[in-house]
Amino acid sequence: MNWSVAIHGGAGAIPETLSAERREACLAALDGTLRSGVQQLSAGASAIDVVEDLVAMLEDEPSFNAGHGAVYTREGTHELEAAIMDGDAGSCGAVTQIMTIRNPIRLARQVMDRSPHVMLCGEGAESFGADIGVEQVDNTYFDTQLRRAELDRALSDPTLAVQEGSTVGAVAMDMQGRCASATSTGGMTGKWCGRIGDSPLIGSGTYADTSCAISCTGHGEAFIRHVVAHEISAMHRHGGVPIDEAAHAVLGKMEDGAGGVILVDASGAHAVINAKGMYRGLAESGGRFETAIWNDQMAEL
């Protein structure tokens, strides 16, 4: 049976002047994460376990805006969010305003598996995490110089608050044809405390059903307004539109630079970008294995 997987490390205004050091670090992280996905799926792992694991790996990478490496709020703190969805079971879990959980995606999975709810926020989410033994860290664990410099630039001049993306996500279809999606983020640099983006919102930034899985990245407010992930799946499911064409149509209605999506369905893995670039990797059972950053390297809107 075929399988496919795609990961992203965020879309946005990724400058062509990106340092070689950062480019190599991001590509190496994408490569290692994607390889793990290939190994797991070819060994028969379930899509839901794979997307959780791959996103947790990306959360641990300081290069990306999720987990260690998350961006700062305008108060200089970190508020993390994540969501996961099992398209086959139709079940999902999400967390937001997380300040002390090392891997928010692991907590989102526990919300899905072990709570009667879909979404938990703030203190309630964290005390659920503590009760079930999910790893906790101090909020300063998420600090990195890169994101601090980004915040300082944004606070000194809001016109410089251009984020190059770096939210993380994974989508997979396993050998049994089951689809799953997971997304995790620190949000947007300098965001107000309490702001919630698209990533933890099922249907906006994260969605999976029996035929496809989608994870989004970009300007969260725009992705919420367009309910991007569900809109793509609905065009595909109800209208029979190929999933990548549906993604082009939905992202094409958004302002330039809005972001990007990764998708899987029976036709394989896709990346569709309406931005300068998206850190991403795609692999399929037929042997395809690609990583890329700018939008002329692989898929283009």
Q: Which residues are catalytic?
A: 167
Q: Which is nearer to ligand ASP, 166 or 291 (CB)?
A: 166
- Residue whose C-alpha is closest to residue 143's, from 193, 94, 80, 195: 80
- Residue whose C-alpha is closest to residue 194's, from 121, 260, 265, 282: 121
197 touches 224 (CB < 8 A): yes
Interface with ligand ASP, residue 185, by CB under 6 A:
yes
Q: Which is nearer to ligand ASP, 93 or 218 (CB)?
A: 218
Q: Which of 69, 104, 190, 197 binds ligand ASP (CB under 6 A)?
A: 197
- Residue whose C-alpha is closest to residue 50's, from 215, 196, 191: 215
Binding range to ligand ASP, per CB under 6 A, among 20-28, 180-188, 238-246, 261-269: 180-188
Binding range to ligand ASP, per CB under 6 A, among 53-61, 114-122, 125-133, 192-200: 192-200
Provide the minimum distance between the beta carbon of 1 and ligand ASP in the complex, in angstroms, as a whole number: 32
Provide the minimum distance between the beta carbon of 176 and ligand ASP in the complex, in angstroms, as a whole number: 30
Interface with ligand ASP, residue 61, by CB under 6 A:
no
Interface with ligand ASP, residue 9, by CB under 6 A:
no
Backbone phi, then psi, for 292, in 5-degree steps? -160, 165
Please tell me whether residue 134 adopts helix, strand or coil conformation.
Answer: coil
Interface with ligand ASP, residue 203, by CB under 6 A:
no
Interface with ligand ASP, residue 260, by CB under 6 A:
no
Core vs surface per residue 8-29: b (16+ CB within 10 A) or e:
bbbbbebeeeeeeeeeeebbeb
Q: Which is nearer to ligand ASP, 40 or 97 (CB)?
A: 97
Q: Which is nearer to ligand ASP, 10 or 268 (CB)?
A: 10
Backbone phi, then psi, for 276, in 5-degree steps? -65, -35
Interface with ligand ASP, residue 96, by CB under 6 A:
no
Task: State the residue for tokens 């107000």.
Answer: 192
The sign one gets for the Cα dihedral 254, 104, 110, 128 is negative
Q: How far apart are CA 285 and CA 211, in angstroms?
A: 17
DSSP state letter for 70:
P
Interface with ligand ASP, residue 37, by CB under 6 A:
no
Interface with ligand ASP, residue 189, by CB under 6 A:
no
In this structure, what token pair is assigned to residue 205?
């930034």
Interface with ligand ASP, residue 63, by CB under 6 A:
no
**Of residues 38-57, which lie at the interface with ligand ASP (CB under 6 A)?**
none
Interface contacts to ligand ASP, rule CB under 6 A: 10, 12, 65, 163, 165, 167, 185, 187-188, 197-199, 205, 217-218, 220, 259
